[in-house]
Structure 1
Amino acid sequence: MPLYIKIDTSYLFIVVEIIFNMSLLPFVVLLFAGCAVAVSNRIIGGEETTIENYPYIVQVEMYHSGNWNQGCGANIILRDWVLSAAHCFEGWNYRPEFRRIRAGSTYRDEGGFIHYVDFDRKHPEYRVLALYDADINVVKLTTPLVWSPTIQKGTIAPQGYVLPDNTPVVHAGWGDTTPGEGIASRVLRHVEIYKVNNSLCTDRYRELPGPNVTPNMICAGLLDIGGRDACQRDSGGPLYAGNVIVGIVSWGHGCANARYPGISTKVSSYTNWIIQNAR
């Protein structure tokens, strides 16, 4: 399978409650409420869920050829700020007015509430150490979100936190449900996988031409099994450990690949920068 970033190619604050003085471990070993998943159905390998279980996630819609379509995900951090992947806010035709978010809806491209983008701030080290290193940005909305059972701010991991290997983690999003077919899900889905050792993941990706895995990334999947993962159009969305956002979906070699896990930006490498810039 080819290497690709997890974005539509067609065309929480956060830490309002960051827990600096206690370990995250009691949180990350528990699945977020409502996150139990089945092997059948599909994000890839997951099952349908509702926005009430993930009120921190929003859709990023992109304007292209006269139409708006969901192409990425993002994470609510304040009433007028969301957290996403830098690569979702760039490209030959990118302008802030060509991005908007849809909050509070279980369904792709329908329902909920629309908020347009004022501007985004990409991390200054984006693409410096490696092609997708620091693939993270904060996005200012033109109008504030209104809190409700389906729209809530998320919590992110503290600066420097290291997620233990083999911790269960969860992807949620509206991305492709089958590798390579480009068929997005109409309904929000979620899937449980496991954090993969970074050194092992780095060594595996060195077998391939292309981007390198860095210490600022989290690898996750079912190693040597495959079948569960985020996919295209899930970029910018969350990787949860417990109810904490530990990763931002970034890139990978195919989707749900047994040998090469999916890769998310490690939020805890950038927590201080997020807090300083989302204001």
Structure 2
Amino acid sequence: MMWSTVFTIILFSGAAVGRTLHGGRIVNGNNTRIENYPFLVQVDVFQSYGDWWPSCSANILKVNWLLSAAHCFEGRDYKPEHRRIRAGTTFKGTGGVIRYVDYDIKHPDYRVAARYDADINVVKLLEPLLYSPVIQKATINVAGNHLPNNIPVIYAGWGRTDFFGGQPYILQHVSVYTVDNAMCAEYYRKHNRSDYTVTPNMICAGLWEEGGKDACTGDSGGPLYTGGVVVGIVSWGHLCAEPFNPGVATDVASYTDWIVKTAR
């Protein structure tokens, strides 16, 4: 089967166009609408007291497949039936359509080289989505097409607006820049705990010296996005929006072939 019949993959031209450890929210972003990111969905977790709570995001690959962060689909009490998604809405926890998760497949290298290396999975839905102006498949980066440094990229999601802050009701987005991988890795190695390991399969993105803009808690699994392409999956970082501590996303280009092969 040709890639183009599965879902859209395009080459990023290179022209300018936790997140777990700290969580995942958008810091110092702006309100936006789902029409601008129709591939983006909320991921809800079933709580022990019987309610659902938005905790992560995911990206639509096909009507019945999503792309997200592996760490959003694990935990002591994790079961696929304890995850559902909400698609086609600008607003957190309301509107749109709900679909339940059948199963997820984590990349086989997840947590092998480092705690958050290969933090990526594909998620199968029990019932397919229906495409509309607010529900569309994502375009993902082509295999091996890694971004250069200092390229403007966008985080989008419903995560916290600062590390100790609340979560927004309206979808947020913010523009930052890619950061040199080796420089990012060295800084994290020297100044943070051993579980903050940046590998070549990750993209660092933020405002390197000044901070102030970032993804944060609740944005995990959502997109790092540029030029109409999902190039990264929000994964982790130290706190949120701090100078010299950019957010870290899984580099989609390291896993495109696996995504295409697995999400059939």
Normalising by the smaller structure, the TM-score range is over 0.9
SS at match of 1:121: strand
> For structure 1, which segment, 42-51 or 154-163, has the greater mean C-alpha deviation from structure 2 after superposition?
42-51
Aligned match of 2:161: 177
SS in structure 1 opposite 2:71?
A: helix
How far is 1:162 from its partner? 1.3
Shift of 1:15: 6.6
The SS at the match of 1:72 is strand
Partner of 1:251: 236
**Which position in structure 2 is the counterpart of 1:35?**
none
Aligned partner of 1:238: which letter? P
Aligned: 1:100 with 2:88:
no
* TM superposition shift of 1:278: 0.4
Alignment root-mean-square deviation, CA: 1.4
Residue number in structure 2 paired with 1:18: 9
Provide the C-alpha distance between the structure 2 equivalents of 1:105 and 1:75, rounded to a whole number of angstroms.
Answer: 13
Q: Which residue identity lines up with residue 51 of structure 1 in the other structure? A: I
Q: Which whole-Å CA distance do the structure 1 matches of 2:250 and 2:5 have between them?
A: 16
- 1:219 and 1:264 in contact (8 A); partners too: yes
- Pairwise CA distance, 1:14: 9.5
1:86 to 70, 73, 80: 70
Runs of 5+ consecutive residues of structure 1 not aligned to the other structure: 1-12, 31-41
**Contact kept? 1:15, 1:156, Cα under 8 Å:** no
Matches within 5 A, 1:211-222: 211=195, 212-222=197-207
* Equivalent position of 2:20 in the other structure: none
Give the secondary structure class of the aligned counterpart of 1:25.
Answer: coil
Equivalent residues of 1:247, 1:266 under 8 A apart: yes
User: Within the alignment, does 1:55 sit opposite 2:4 as a pair?
Assistant: no
1:115 aligned to 99, 103, 109, which one? 99
Once the two structures are TM-superposed, the CA of residue 133 in structure 1 deviates from its matched residue by 0.1
| Cα separation, partners in 2 of 1:14 and 1:164, compared to 1, 3 Å | farther
Letter in structure 2 aligned against 1:275: V
Q: Give distance in 1, aligned partners of 2:5 and 2:201.
A: 19
Write out per-residue CA displacement over residues 74-108 of structure 1, whole angstroms, 9 at most, x where no aligned residue.
00000000000000000011100000000000000
CA distance in 2, matches of 1:152, 1:164: 27
Separation in 2, partners of 1:69, 1:246: 27
2:54 is the counterpart of 1:70: yes
User: Contact 1:81–1:140 at 8 Å: present in 2 too?
Assistant: yes
Within the candidate set 140, 146, 149, 1:165 is matched to: 149
- How many pairs does the alignment contain? 251
Question: How is 1:123-272 mapped onto 2 (pairs within 5 angstroms)?
Answer: 123-181=107-165, 183-207=166-190, 208-211=192-195, 212-272=197-257
* CA–CA distance in structure 1, aligned partners of residues 189 and 164 of structure 2: 23
The C-alpha deviation readout for 1:9-36, integer Å capped at 9, x for no partner, is xxxx8973323xxx5216x622xxxxxx
Cα deviation digits, residues 106-140 of structure 1 (max 9, x gap): 00000000000000000000000000000000000
SS at match of 2:237: strand
Where 1:204 maps in the other structure, the secondary structure is helix
Q: AA paired with 1:29? A: A
Secondary structure, aligned partner of 1:264: strand
Residue 179 of structure 1, CA deviation: 1.8
Q: Is contact 1:14–1:155 with CA below 8 Å preserved after alignment? A: no
Matched residue SS, 2:149: coil
- How far does the alpha carbon of each residue in 1:191-221 deviate from its partner, in whole angstroms, 9 at most, with x for none? 0000000000001001111321000000000
Structure 2 letter corresponding to 1:278: A
User: How many angstroms does 1:233 deviate by?
Assistant: 0.5
Residue number among 16, 23, 26 corresponding to 1:29 in the alignment: 16
After TM superposition, the runs of 4+ consecutive aligned structure 1 residues lying more than 3 A away are none
Residues 62 and 80 of structure 1, relative CA distance in 2, 3 Å threshold:
same
Unaligned runs of 5+ in 2: 18-24
